[in-house]
Amino acid sequence: MKAAILGTGVIGAGWAARFLLAGWDVAVHDPASGAEARLDATLAAARRVLPMLSEVALPPEGSLRFGTLEEAVRGAAWVQESAPERLDLKHEIWREVLEHAAPDAVLASSTSGFTPTALNGGTGRVIVAHPFNPVYLLPLVELVGPETAQAAAILTRIGMYPLEITAEIDGHIADRLLESVWREALWLVNDGVATTGQIDEAIRMGFGLRWAQMGLFETYRLGGGEGGFAQFLAQFGPALKWPWSHLTDVPDLDAALVQKIAAQSDAQSGHLSTEALTTLRDHNLVALLRALKQRNAGAGKLLNAHEQSLTPPPPPPGPAPLVTLRRTIPVDWTDYNGHMNESRYGQLWSDAGDTILVAIGMGPESPGTQGATWFTVDNHIRYLAETQAGETCEVRTTILLAEGKKLRMHHEMWVGETLSATCTQLLLHIDLATRRSAPPAPDVAERLQAYAAAHRELAAPHAQAGSR
């Protein structure tokens, strides 16, 4: 599949990274100077952090090339325009796109304010697909237009969250909410009530944390206790009529206010470069999103579902070690020494072992396994080389022993051509009714023995380590 990306600003470059790392071929057009350098910087950031979100490997990258608008658009299944917010410029771009685009291609604009009616000017084909920065990490895309089902299906496949909006309104949903907060923040600075730093702390130390997992209405529902939202509105609704906020009023952004905001912002974070701030933001987002994944909540639920679609089937028995895991080391797996923390190796071996359990019909979601499972009773680990965040590893597993209730495996963690760690692991089959070891079901034992037989010659070099 091919995506055409028109414009390589912050949003356009983010779109290119999202499609490219999802395995799409990407053709880019941007006549502005410095376009390739901007895209390269965004791709470097995306290649580092997006794979950290997943417990499995992303698909191979597609191809990337620059060209004219006609070359970029021809044959593309998705055309994404991310030009500056000038309606005349967008009309000019879309007139040319329509001359060359495939009749069934999705034609989408990243506009944060214009409606499809304003964009189309009578053509009827252009929809709004409004993302959020960084596009390569944040999943939300606001879809506005008469026909968005095709776009929604594609966005879901590349790991994003399409929010289909039926009604047209300037600014869509999210930006209208953001601008309300933004206006009030400007007044607080203008009136000397708060600094830019205080406002940011109020958000990130308070309601920003709640919103990441529950949003606005679900959070306030809890504020009503057992009475729910009706109770919340009865208690706090009258306060909405009090003149707490400026609503749609905007302070005059004169030179004095601009200088005041700029000076406070410089004092707050001017010691960090744009690159350093971007890295800090992206690493924090990865850690937050991974925490939500573990709880299967908010954006984490979306990430888990997408990851499931990327998970390959378990490898069949064969004469070579089984590749049981391919993944990128996330930033939250590292410690103060800058390398992978030893506790995280346990997660690696556990995930690799789960691949084997899925293959023999004993995975966490395998039918008929609720009454039995496998417990790890011994791990013998060797740490051979440092592993850093962002590095891609592969775990290769050999079945050393599959007899009765015992299963012994040998895992090797490879980073490129470097053997970074090994683990010889002993598991026991457990009857959950008695919480004691017991032989597995005959069909499970048969599948295990097939792997052990295929690995009989491979197991010999590890026999001494496996006997510990």
Supply the range of the domain harboring residue 248. 175-271
User: How far apart are the C-alpha atoms of 373 and 287, rounded to whole Å?
Assistant: 30
Same-domain check for residues 32 and 166: yes
pLDDT for residue 389: 94
pLDDT in tens, 307-361: 999 999 988 999 999 999 999 999 999 999 989 999 999 999 999 999 999 999 8
| Amino acid identity for residue 436 in this structure | R
pLDDT in tens, 20-78: 999 999 999 999 999 999 999 999 999 999 999 999 999 999 999 999 999 999 999 99
Q: Total structural domains in the chain? A: 3
Same-domain check for residues 24 and 167: yes
Same-domain check for residues 166 and 179: no
Task: Report CA-CA distances (Å) from 135 to 18, 45, 139, 154.
Answer: 7, 11, 7, 15
Mean pLDDT within 198-227? 88
Residue 155 has pLDDT above 90, yes or no: yes
Half-sphere exposure of 116 (CA within 13 A, CB side): 21
pLDDT for residue 466: 44
Percent of the chain past pLDDT 70, that is, above it, reads 97
Asked if residue 306 is part of any domain, the answer here is no
Q: Which of 100-109, 237-246, 369-378 has the lowest mean pLDDT?
A: 237-246
Instruction: Identify the domain boundary among 152, 171, 190.
Output: 171
Same-domain check for residues 199 and 255: yes
Structural contact between residues 46 and 14, judged by C-beta atoms closer than 8 angstroms: yes
Asked if residue 130 is part of any domain, the answer here is yes
Asked if residue 13 is part of any domain, the answer here is yes
Q: Give pairs for 187-190: CB < 8 Å, separation 24+.
A: 187/246, 187/249, 187/251, 189/257, 189/260, 189/261, 189/264, 190/251, 190/257, 190/260
Same-domain check for residues 232 and 93: no
pLDDT in tens, 167-193: 999 999 999 999 999 999 999 999 999
pLDDT for residue 122: 65
Same-domain check for residues 102 and 200: no
Instruction: Identify the domain boundary among 110, 136, 171.
Output: 171
Same-domain check for residues 370 and 350: yes
Distance of CA 9 to the CA centre of its chain: 21
Report the CATH number at residue 217. 1.10.1040.10
Mean pLDDT taken over the chain: 91
Sign, CA dihedral 432-436-438-440, equals positive
Asked if residue 293 is part of any domain, the answer here is no
Residue 368 has pLDDT above 60, yes or no: no
Same-domain check for residues 167 and 183: no
Residue 229 has pLDDT above 80, yes or no: no
Residue 468 has pLDDT above 50, yes or no: no
Confidence class for position 463, pLDDT limits 50, 70, 90: low
Report the CATH number at residue 98. 3.40.50.720
Strands 406-415 and 392-403: antiparallel
Instruction: Identify the domain boundary among 271, 299, 329.
Output: 271
pLDDT for residue 467: 42
User: How far apart are the C-alpha atoms of 254 and 239, rounded to whole Å?
Assistant: 32
Same-domain check for residues 371 and 430: yes
pLDDT for residue 367: 60
Mean pLDDT within 428-443? 93
